[in-house]
Amino acid sequence: MGEIGEFVDYFRDRFTKLSDMLRNRNVSFRPIESMSRRTTGLAEGREEVSLIGMVSDIQTSKNGHRMIEIEDTTGTFRTMVLKKNKDLFDQAMKVMLDEVVGLTGTLSDDGNLLFINNIMWPEIPVRNSIELGEPGSTGLAVLISDIHIGSDTFLEHEWLKFLDWLNGGTNNENIGSVNVGDIKYLIVAGDLVDGIGIYPDQERELAILDVYDQYCKAAEYFNQVPEHIKVIISPGNHDVVRQAEPQPALPDKIKKMFRTDVVFVGNPAVVSMDGVHTLIYHGRSIDDLIGALPGMKYEDPAKPMIEMLKRRHLSPIYGSKVSIAPERTDHLVINKIPDILHCGHVHTVGCTNYRGVRIVNSGTWQSQTEFQRRMNLQPIPARAAVVNLGSRDTKIISFQ
Which residues contact Zn ion by CB under 5 A? 191, 236-237, 345
Compute the least distance from the CB of residue 352 to ligand D5M, in Å: 19
Q: Which does 250 bind (CB under 5 to 8 A by kind): ligand D5M, Fe ion, Zn ion, none?
A: none
Cβ closer to Zn ion: 122 or 379? 379
- Residue 212's binding partner among Fe ion, ligand D5M, Zn ion, none (Cβ under 5 to 8 angstroms by kind) is none
Residue 372 makes contact with ligand D5M by CB under 6 A: yes
Nearer to ligand D5M, 163 or 377 (CB): 377
In the three-class reduction of DSSP (H, G, I as helix; E, B as strand; rest coil), residue 8 is classed as helix
* Residue 340 interacts with, from ligand D5M, Zn ion, Fe ion, none (CB under 5-8 Å by kind): none
Reply yes or no: is the peptide bond before residue 381 cis, omega within 30 of 0: no
- Nearest alpha-carbon partner for 17 in 311, 322, 272: 311
Judge contact between 33 and 110, C-beta under 8 A.
no
The DSSP bridge partners found for residue 233 are 188, 264
Stretch near Fe ion under the rule CB under 5 A, chosen from 142-150, 241-249, 258-266, 302-310: 142-150
Q: What phi, psi does 334 have (nearest 5°)?
A: -90, 90
Residue 148 near residue 238 (C-beta atoms within 8 A): yes
Name which position in 42, 59, 112, 199 contacts ligand D5M (CB under 6 A): 199
Counting contacts by CB under 5 A, is residue 99 touching Fe ion?
no
Site for Fe ion contains 146 (CB under 5 A)? yes
What are the C-alpha distances in Å from 7 to residues 11, 86, 154, 288? Answer: 6, 36, 38, 20
SS (H, E, C) 47-108: CCEEEEEEEEEEEECCCCCEEEEEEECCEEEEEEECCCCHHHHHHHCCCCCCCEEEEEEEEC
Q: Please report, as residue ranges, which positions from 31 to 50 form the binding site for ligand D5M (by CB under 6 A).
A: none
Number of residues that bind Fe ion (CB under 5 A): 2
Residue 119 vs 351, nearer CB to ligand D5M:
351
Can residue 239 be called a binding residue for Fe ion (CB under 5 A)? no
Q: How far apart are CA 339 and CA 353, in angstroms?
A: 10
Q: Tell whether residue 191 is a contact of Fe ion (CB under 5 A).
A: yes
DSSP reduced 3-state for 171:
coil
Residues near ligand D5M (CB under 6 A) are 146, 191, 199, 237-238, 287, 345-347, 371-372, 377
Residues near Fe ion (CB under 5 A) are 146, 191
